[in-house]
Amino acid sequence: MNKRFAVIMAFALISSTNTHAQTQETFGYKVSEIQLATFQRLVVNAGIDIVLLQNDTLKKAFVEGDEKLVGDIKFLACDGVLTITSAHRISYRGKLQVTIAVNNLSRIDINAAAGIASVNTLQSPGLSVIINGDCDIQLSSVGHIAFSGAAGYEVAYVRTEKKASRRIEFYEALSD
């Protein structure tokens, strides 16, 4: 009887230990809204996912995702330049998303492993994208987008133009 009781107690202890080890921390979701000044140049110094939203009147950015990380993203606007930085040198990709309303954007400097996409067509007559880090970009603009890479970085992209009812794709690769 004692052996049987000891086996049952050992099994109960192991089961409760496994159950406790499998409980996960809860995920807290948060959205932070930031009022922005007018800017024409965007500098990205954080490894984060950024969504650009063409909007002529909205002057805001939204940081959303893990509530423990939302406060790590900082915005600095000065002389028409909006700079995005992070408190830590970690990748926030897949954990946070920054949505920025833009109007007349002329230049993007990417200095980190970021992901940048436009949710609608940017109304920029000309947009210069300077790449200084590994990144993924998906942009749509009414004007020309010029890509260039800093020393040591290679830029490869697919450009699609829509003219009348036909579609033309260009495959280009630049290297320094």
The string of pLDDT tens digits covering residues 78-119 is 999 999 999 999 999 999 999 999 999 999 999 999 999 999
Which residues, other chains included, contact 12 with Cβ-Cβ below 8 Å and sequence gap of 6+? none
Biggest distance spanned by C-alpha atoms of the chain: 87
Q: In the block, which residue shows the tokens 């028409």?
A: 80
Topology classification of domain 28-175: Pectate Lyase C-like (2.160.20)
Q: Confidence class of residue 159 from pLDDT cuts 50, 70 and 90?
A: confident
Look at the chain and count its residues.
176
Instruction: Give residue 176's pLDDT.
Output: 44
Residue 155 has pLDDT above 80, yes or no: no
Task: Express as a percent the part of the chain with pLDDT over 90.
Answer: 65
Residue 1 has pLDDT above 60, yes or no: no
- pTM recorded for the entire structure: 0.77
3-state secondary structure 99-144: EEEECCCCEEEECCCCEEEECCCECCCEEEEEECCCCEEECCECCE
Structure tokens at 102: 């833009």
Residue 76 has pLDDT above 50, yes or no: yes
Residue 160 has pLDDT above 80, yes or no: no
Average pLDDT over residues 4-20: 55
